[in-house]
């Protein structure tokens, strides 16, 4: 695991990773909701 030399880079990377992760969860939950509504 590479340690971050610059604090701002770590913060930006963590924010982008968090937004991507929450976005994936939102998309999956929406797809699951539509699957429930179809049946």
**pTM (2 d.p.):** 0.47
Structure tokens at 19: 């937004």
Could you tell me the pLDDT band of residue 37, with boundaries at 50, 70 and 90? confident
pLDDT recorded at residue 10: 76
pLDDT recorded at residue 1: 45
Q: What is the 3-state secondary structure (H, E, C) of 4-38?
A: CCCHHHHHHHHHHHHHHHHHHHHHHHHHHHHHHHH
Q: What is the pLDDT of residues 2-35, one digit of tens each?
A: 555 667 777 888 888 888 889 999 999 999 988 8
């Amino acid at each position: 695991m590479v340690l971050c030399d610059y604090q701002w880079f770590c913060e930006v990377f963590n924010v982008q990773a968090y937004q991507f992760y929450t976005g994936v969860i939102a998309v999956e939950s929406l797809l699951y909701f539509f699957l429930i509504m179809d049946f």
